[in-house]
Amino acid sequence: MLIKNTHTGVCHTDAFTLSGNDPEGVFPVVLGHEGAGIVVEVGEGVTSVKPGDHVIPLYTAECGECEFCQSGKTNLCVSVRETQGKGLMPDGTTRFSYNGQPLYHYMGCSTFSEYTVVAEVSLAKINPEANHEHVCLLGCGVTTGIGAVHNTAKVQPGDSVAIFGLGAIGLAAVQGARQAKSGTYYRYRY
């Protein structure tokens, strides 16, 4: 699907990949994995969205069929990861090029481009009234921080929580701690 990106977030993961230290980084690449946009065109067989729909890209797409998706560990989907980790679409191709040379996709999203092409499994439809400037962070920072509190640490009411770093993920972890009704939460800058 062709998406017009209206807003994007900048995550430390993008900077890490750009640094050359990411062992899965492929170059040349169109970075960016937090974003919000509007569907411009859809391909054959696409049923979940239509042109004009507002969407956020999902770097943790899921096929729904592999062993991890069936076990509820959808963030480990091996089907999507097989091509996405190589900077390719699920069909094994890239939709970006420059001077006839391929440019790779990043985490199935490539939100640092005005237009991007993503697979249907890599999009979530959102309310058209949602502010894209705010929801562009939902694809990574917000869900990572809140998810760490609820799904990884499994914080319960009254628990004490320590949060190191107050970037987007740290602030989202504070929100998650408040949602979980933790007793005390500590925020540390370093």
> What residue ranges do the domains of the chain occupy?
2-136, 141-188
Local confidence band at 185 (pLDDT 50, 70, 90 cut-offs): low
* pLDDT on residue 20: 95
| Model confidence pTM above 0.85 | yes
Q: Is the pLDDT of residue 189 over 70?
A: no
H or E segment to which residue 58 belongs: none
For 44-69, what is each residue's pLDDT tens digit?
A: 999 999 999 999 999 988 888 999 99
For 135-178, what is each residue's pLDDT tens digit?
A: 999 989 999 999 999 999 999 999 999 998 888 899 999 999 99
CATH architecture of 2-136: Alpha-Beta Complex (3.90)
Cβ atoms within 10 Å of 181's Cβ, excluding its own: 11
- Dihedral of CA atoms 7, 5, 123, 52 in degrees, nearest 10, equals 110
